[in-house]
Amino acid sequence: MATQLPLFTLPGFEAGADMTDDQFKFVTISEAEKVETVSVAGDTPLGVLQNAPKAGESAQIMQAGITKVIAGAGNISAGEYVVMNSDGTAEDAGTTASEEVVGIGIDGADDGNIASILLFGAVIERDLS
């Protein structure tokens, strides 16, 4: 069962678009200083969206702690490093030579389901080459 334990949250950022379907996805900050769902795998994540705001509403973001996330096509496994996808979901890092790790899986989930991860609060570059 997915659980949460916030250690550091970022309240008060404005949602740059309707994010009602993006709860528990990774978000980033735009040049207009508004929160938006990650749209490129290499985006710098601000954290994980904790609520489901409409455009212009306050977006609550967890930056570090144990958070719920939506699993992507690569699934999430307990004890495995986790990376984010280009749609804001998360998946196991796998064996790719170089990826930006955002956390460790606490429990597992298949594509589209909710898992818990230990969110690092900083992106860690992993190089297996």
User: 120-124, long-range: CB within 8 Å, 24+ apart, which pairs?
Assistant: 120/64, 121/7, 121/8, 121/47, 121/63, 121/64, 121/65, 123/44, 123/45, 124/100
pLDDT of 97 > 60? The answer is no
Q: How far is CA 64 from the centre of its chain?
A: 10
The dihedral region occupied by 85, where left means phi > 0, alpha psi between -120 and 50, and beta the remainder, is: beta
pLDDT of 96 > 80? The answer is no
Q: What is the pLDDT of residue 22?
A: 97
**Structural domain that includes position 117:** 67-127
The verdict on residue 119 lying in a domain is: yes
Range 44-53 average pLDDT? 93
Q: Are residues 74 and 36 in the same domain?
A: no
Q: Give the closest residue to 61 by CA, choosing from 116, 2, 109, 13.
A: 13
pTM of the model: 0.89
Q: How far, in Å, CA of 84 to CA of 40, rounded?
A: 9
Confidence bin at 74 (pLDDT 50/70/90): confident
Amino acid at 99: E
Q: Are residues 51 and 89 in the same domain?
A: no
Number of domains in the chain: 2
Q: Mean pLDDT across the chain, nearest whole number?
A: 88
Angle at 90 between CA 87 and CA 94, to 5 degrees: 120
Angle at 82 between CA 77 and CA 84, to 5 degrees: 125
Q: Where does a domain end: 63, 80, 108?
A: 63
10, 74, 94, 120 from 127: Cα distances, Å: 29, 19, 12, 17
